Amino acid sequence: MTRVITLGQFIIEKQADFPYAKGELSRLLRDIGIAAKIVNREVNKAGLMDILGKAGSTNIQGEQQQKLDLYADQQFIAALKSGGECCIVASEENEHIIRLDTDVSKNAKYIVAIDPLDGSSNIDVNVPVGTIFSIYRRKSNEGSPGLKDVMQKGTEQVAAGYIIYGSSTMLVYTTGRGVNGFTLDPSIGEFCLSHPNMQIPETGTIYSINEGNYVHFPQSVKDYIKYCQVEDTQTNRPYASRYIGSMVADLHRNLIKGGIFIYPVTSRAPSGKLRLVYECNPMAFLIEQAGGRATNGHQRILELDIHELHQRSPIFIGSKNMVEKAESFNLIQPELQSC
């Protein structure tokens, strides 16, 4: 009989990998798992509740907030606050960092950056959505933690992952020692190890990009798309175009099957659209740990400097060979691209 390993058990067993953490990181990951279960419950009954549609407000990016955006944001912040292992939360849904100034959490050692509900506009049409999270160690030793603790390069992450709410709910994460996936078993209410040591294929046959923006793409990106569409039996082209509109869902598929996900600069978004701190960096860390590659077209995502909390970046991420091929199309510095 195969042993069932829950997320909690797995985290405890791997705790020895982080002797400096003394259990805090393990408890922090547990808190994220608890919040994910609560959000999953609401996502799964969204059609029966008054939580579909727009909330009537916008976030710092000027995007319409969905009711479930706000709900997910509140649940993750509450879980992290009550857990006491996190001192600051940086969220897509909030303009400023959130200091968790409780007696327990104000001296905590960790920072969490989070996109509470990626692809939330898909909720209304029952398409998979997700949560993206990133964990950093606090840098300041004295006084109140601040923005400088959040503005760390992606290389400084100690853990990152995502939760996908779909036909099954999965939590996939890395602590810099490989990638493991856990599927929620609703019969026992636990995430169970289902995808140990996940590895993205070195190449694939899927490219994911919003081709509705084609006219706004730089010529180099248009050239790469044409390359994907040209028949070549030696490289299994033409590739299949698959775009869900949720970074978590698109990358989860490509992680398992192989592929490339692209969100480039455009004439309407000259700095890119996806946020570096709580979308690009955590996904880049995870995909690299699975054997893949992630760049902004000319530089490794994890090595980009952070200048502002809601900084945007283009991204080319996925199977190593496919990303390297895209880079060969002269994907120069974003600010120099002619869109």
Structure token digits, residue 248: 């978590």
Among 170, 327, 165, which residue's Cα sits nearest to residue 256? 170
Residue 115 annotated as binding site: yes
Among 218, 232, 207, which residue's Cα sits nearest to residue 330? 218
**What span, in angstroms and rounded, lies between the C-alpha atoms of 138 and 36?**
23
**What span, in angstroms and rounded, lies between the C-alpha atoms of 182 and 74?**
23
8 Å CB contact between 131 and 117: yes
Residue 119 annotated as binding site: yes
- The number of beta carbons lying within 10 Å of the beta carbon of residue 276 is 28
Residue 68 annotated as binding site: no
DSSP 22-49: TTHHHHHHHHHHHHHHHHHHHHHTGGGT
- The answer for 41, left when phi > 0, alpha when psi is -120 to 50, beta otherwise, is alpha
**What span, in angstroms and rounded, lies between the C-alpha atoms of 274 and 251?**
14
Residue 140 annotated as binding site: no
Residue 105 annotated as binding site: no
Residue 185 annotated as binding site: no
Amino acid at 229: Q
Residue 243 annotated as binding site: yes
8 Å CB contact between 271 and 278: no
Q: Which residues does 253 contact at the CB level (< 8 Å), separation at least 6?
A: 206, 208, 242, 244, 259
Residue 118 annotated as binding site: yes
Structure token digits, residue 35: 């919040």
Question: Which helix or strand (DSSP H or E) is residue 117 part of?
Answer: strand 110-118
Binding residues for substrate: 118-121, 210, 243, 273
- Which residues are documented as binding site for Mg(2+)? 92, 115, 117-118, 279
- Which residues does the annotation place in the binding site? 92, 115, 117-121, 210, 243, 273, 279
